[in-house]
Every structure is written in C-alpha cells, then in structure tokens.
Amino acid sequence: MAMEMDLGRIGIWTNQLNGLKAAELRDTLQEIEGLGYGALWQGESATGREALTNAALTLSWTDRIVAATGVASIWARDAAGLASAQRMLCESFPYRFLLGLGVSHEGQITARGHDFDTKPLTAMGHYLRSMDIQPAGVLPHPPAPPPRVLAALGPAMLDLARDHAQGAHPFLVTPEQTKAARDVLGPGRILAPELGVLLETDAEAARTVLRGEIKSRLGYPNYRRSLLNQGFTEADLADGGSDALIDRLFAWGSISDVAQRVEEHIASGADHVALYALRPRSGQVPLEEWRELATII
C-alpha cells in the first residue's frame, strides 16, 4: 500500500454509535479495539456526529485502531477546512486516520443548504483539487502524506480514486464487483468494501431484516445504477430486493457463512472488509455481534 497504515483484514463499519453519551462511547470504542478489529469506519449524516470530531474522539480514546470516515460528505465542510483537519489528525495520530470521502445523496445535500446541480464526479474532482492546493501554512507536517479513499462505485469514480486518492471504500457491492473495482484500481491502491452482515440462519427471517435495511437505499439513483451495472435487473430491485440481490449483497447465516463471504471479497481483490453488523431492530449497538464476529479476525 501507498502508506504505513495497518487496516488489518477486517474492520467494523457502523452508524450505530451516535446515540451514546461520551463515557459509554469511550468504553465501547475501547472494547472494539480490544476485540482486535483493524479499523473502525463511522458514517456521517446531518443528524449524527460530525465526521472529523468523531474521528478525533476515536483516536483520543484508543491506542491502535485506525479511525476511518465511512464516509465524510464533501458538502459538510469546505475543502480548505477538511484539508487542515486531516493534516492535524494525521500528524497527531500517525498512520491511524484514514479519510473516506463521498458525494452523498440529493436529499442530504439539499438538507445542508446546497443545490444539487453539479454532477457527482465533477463535484468530487473539484473538491479533491481544492484540497490539494491548500497550503499547510504553519501546521506541522504529518510523517506521510494524509491518505484518502473515495466512496467509488462506477468506473469513472474508481478512476478518480486510483488517480487522485489512495483507493476506494465501496458500499453495496458483490464480490464480483470487488474484482471489477480491483481491476480498475490496479495494485497499490486500497480497496475496502463495506459488507452488511446478519447473524441469522433462518432464510426468511434474515431476508426480511435485510430488505428493511436496503429498501430506502434502492430509491437512490446512484445505488440503483450501480446495482444494475453489477448485473441485477429492475425486477431484482423491486419490493425491497429479490432473494438473489439480498443473498449476494449481504452475508447472513452463521459465523462461518460470514467468514466465507469475507474470503470471497479478499480473494476478489479487497485488502480489508468493513463489517456492518445488523440486528432485527435497527439502531441498536450490536456489541454481541461484534464480539462474535471478532472470532474470524
């Protein structure tokens, strides 16, 4: 890889920690690190914790684990401010902060007061160039150039992730799409897909929970386009997703079933897989699942 950062093979992706008070959050972060995960990816929304502040808390309260944004929205802060914050975190916590960036979705962009009138690829390219031209000023330099990965799904955004970032952190992808992404990125670039997992061996129960998780996302044009490009049909995207779509995008079943799917992504070119542990009731902190999943690290 193009940096001295150890993500490990398996990490956690979560948006389930936003409701915790500081003391409980600290204890939870320290337990996650103690379980042996290589990285903790945390999402960002307009109603949750701000991504860079959240990463700073994670880094301050842990000793080893990589804090990654999965992902920070380019519409949440300007490029100059983000470049400064990234430098500060990378200098203060060497090789432990990974900036994941995404273009978000129309509703989330307009909720922040922005107009959704720029193509995502154009917006991301402009933002990255704006970050790159920001002078460090009096800020001390990190030991290595601050790394970033993009929430890249299509080939054009993957090209940008290869040429203007250190890799990609894709969401809702099959192992076959992981291979396609690796073919675009080539060697020496990070490929860290997110993988939704549910420890439920009953097929009907598992698919019901997972349809509830994905249904709203199937309304986003970028996800629909990505899934169609991955070989799914419009019929697969209807009514919360077909069995085939659910079974290829998510890993459900036993611990060994999850481990097998992780290995499929690794064999397809992933360096690291970020596990998004799901529960029948959304929003709950899945501590028990994280403890069980740690056995496959």
For residue 48, give the CATH number of its domain: 3.20.20.30
At residue 134, the pLDDT reads 85
Q: Is residue 124 part of a domain?
A: yes
At residue 179, the pLDDT reads 99
* CA 4/CA 143 separation, integer angstroms: 10
Centre a 10 Å sphere on the Cβ of residue 289 and count the other Cβ atoms it contains. 20
Q: Which of 261, 273, 154 is nearest to 206 (CA)?
A: 261
Q: Is residue 122 part of a domain?
A: yes
**Spatial contact of 181 and 236, defined as CB atoms under 8 Å apart:** no
Domain residues for the domain of 63 are 10-205+252-296
Q: Is residue 236 part of a domain?
A: no
Q: Is residue 238 part of a domain?
A: no
3-state secondary structure of 69: strand
Tell me how many domains the chain contains.
Answer: 1
**Spatial contact of 169 and 150, defined as CB atoms under 8 Å apart:** yes
At residue 137, the pLDDT reads 79
Q: Is residue 125 part of a domain?
A: yes
* CA 85/CA 69 separation, integer angstroms: 13
Q: Is residue 213 part of a domain?
A: no
Which distant-in-sequence residues (6+ apart) come within 8 Å of 291 by Cβ? Answer: 35
At residue 105, the pLDDT reads 46
Token pair 């209807």: residue: 238
Q: Is residue 283 part of a domain?
A: yes
In one-letter notation, the amino acid at residue 98 is L
At residue 260, the pLDDT reads 99
The β-bridge relationship of strands 39-42 and 194-198 is unpaired
∠ CA 10-79-188, nearest 5°, is 40
The β-bridge relationship of strands 148-150 and 190-191 is unpaired
Q: Is residue 229 part of a domain?
A: no
Residue by residue, pLDDT tens for the chain (297 residues) are 445 899 999 999 999 999 999 999 999 999 999 999 999 999 998 778 999 999 999 999 999 999 999 999 999 999 999 999 999 999 999 999 999 999 954 455 555 454 555 689 999 999 999 999 988 777 888 999 999 999 999 999 999 999 999 999 999 999 999 999 999 999 999 999 999 999 999 999 999 999 999 999 999 999 999 999 999 999 999 999 999 999 999 999 999 999 999 999 999 999 999 999 999 987 789 999 999 999 999
